[in-house]
Amino acid sequence: MRLFFIPFLLCLNSLMLSAQGFQVVFPGLNGAELIDSVASRYRPLTVLDYANARDTLYAKVLAIDDDSLRCIYSGHTLYLDPTQDPTQYIFQGGGTNGMNTEHAYPQAKGAADGNARSDMHHLYPTRVAVNEARGNSPYTDIPDAQTQKWFIGNQLYTSIPATNIDAYSEQRSDAFEPRESVKGDLARSVFYFYTMYQAQANLADPNYFELQRNTLCQWAQQDPADSVELRKTWRIAPYQEGKPNPFVIDCTLANRCWCPDVPPNCLVQTSSPENSFAEEILIWPNPAKDWVQFESKNGQLVSLQIFDLLGIKMGASQTPSVKGEISVQFLPKGYYWVEVLHLSGRRSMQPLIIQ
């Protein structure tokens, strides 16, 4: 097979912004006018009922890649049997390793009923014990010396971890701090909820959002949306009138709506930091027309799968190999994802344009 490389014609960051479906929402607007406009356009009038929302989130949004669900706070992972009722299966009777549904904006603070309760853009699977520990506490950064409980996987600790401290979520009686890698995700969920359901939230507690706003602004800036988060919001959108979370698709929106003192961070990550090995794989040409070719630079066997923005698989390499190609002649023009799988289980997501 003849190998050749076609470089990107645009700078990498610009290509990422285009290929990943990011877009600027109401350019030129700021503050209250922007908030009202965002709520008017992106608030879904129709969402799934709570039972169907949870089942759909688990089975059709989060677990379609590897049949697994991960606790947003601790990273605890459960296999989701596709033949079982998703919500009941992962609950495991409320046992030690069971998971239920976390509302990033708590039910007692405005998400108790109506669309606010089942809007999937702020729902997450969470290990039961960690969900209970968070309760209705606001998000904040807790000094390590003040932390009472540390959560990782299915474990609870009451003393400061000696290693890998960023992978732990922390709890104090009046506050909760998620692990570092998901702080931005949760901040964007809270911004979304308060923008869409502000009246309902203020009726429940008029001070709750403002109590954590500055912290959330910092988290959104420090942990910008990555390809996994973007894919999730576009998978949810078809079940909610085609509307994604605008704070995920526009890296400037948090700054223009709620965080005027915190500059936006548009340095897009194309894969989860925990599973990234994109730098080890060459994929070309990009944009592509007939074929996508790939090569593992370190000689390791890899497999490729191509997904559309909704997460539907559109093509794949046949067997793991060091190099190969996938036909894309049958794909419509547009934006796609290439998921690279290593035999060890490592994976990364890279944007792909079909022209």
Q: Looking at the structure, do residues 315 and 344 belong to the same domain, yes or no?
A: yes
CATH code where residue 296 lies: 2.60.40.3080
Enumerate the H helices of 11-65 as residue ranges. Answer: 12-19, 31-42, 50-56
Identity of residue 160: I
* Count of structural domains within the chain: 2
Report d(CA 186, CA 167) in Å as an integer: 15
Percentage of residues in the chain having pLDDT higher than 90: 63
pLDDT of residue 309: 64
pLDDT of residue 344: 67
Q: Span 167-185, mean pLDDT?
A: 97
Residue-range definition of the domain harbouring residue 253: 25-257
Burial of 353 (0-12, 13-18, 19+ CB in 10 A): middle
Q: Whose CA is closest to 173, among 213, 132, 126, 216?
A: 132
Answer whether residue 56 is part of any domain. yes
pLDDT of residue 311 exceeding 80, the answer is no
Q: Span 327-340, mean pLDDT?
A: 83
208-222 and 183-196 helices, crossing angle to 10°: 140
Report d(CA 1, CA 19) in Å as an integer: 27
Give the 3-state secondary structure of residue 175: strand
pLDDT of residue 29: 95
CA 289 vs. chain centroid, Å, equals 29
Q: Span 247-263, mean pLDDT?
A: 95
Of 160 and 66, which is predicted with more confidence?
160
Give the 3-state secondary structure of residue 293: strand
pLDDT of residue 76 exceeding 80, the answer is yes
Q: Looking at the structure, do residues 101 and 170 belong to the same domain, yes or no?
A: yes
Q: Looking at the structure, do residues 199 and 346 belong to the same domain, yes or no?
A: no
Q: Looking at the structure, do residues 289 and 236 belong to the same domain, yes or no?
A: no
Q: Looking at the structure, do residues 184 and 253 belong to the same domain, yes or no?
A: yes
Last residue of a domain, one of 257, 280, 298: 257
pLDDT of residue 276: 44
Q: Looking at the structure, do residues 72 and 133 belong to the same domain, yes or no?
A: yes
Q: Looking at the structure, do residues 170 and 278 belong to the same domain, yes or no?
A: no
Q: Whose CA is closest to 147, among 157, 155, 137?
A: 157
DSSP 93-106: GG-TT-EEEEESS-
Answer whether residue 265 is part of any domain. no
Answer whether residue 16 is part of any domain. no
Give the 3-state secondary structure of residue 236: helix
Q: Looking at the structure, do residues 242 and 346 belong to the same domain, yes or no?
A: no
Give the 3-state secondary structure of residue 231: helix
**Tokens describing residue 98:** 């069971």
pLDDT of residue 261 exceeding 90, the answer is yes
pLDDT of residue 343 exceeding 70, the answer is yes
Answer whether residue 12 is part of any domain. no
Of 352 and 184, which is predicted with more confidence?
184
Report d(CA 31, CA 115) in Å as an integer: 24
Q: Whose CA is closest to 74, among 173, 196, 161, 190?
A: 161
Report d(CA 181, CA 192) in Å as an integer: 19
Report d(CA 288, CA 310) in Å as an integer: 20
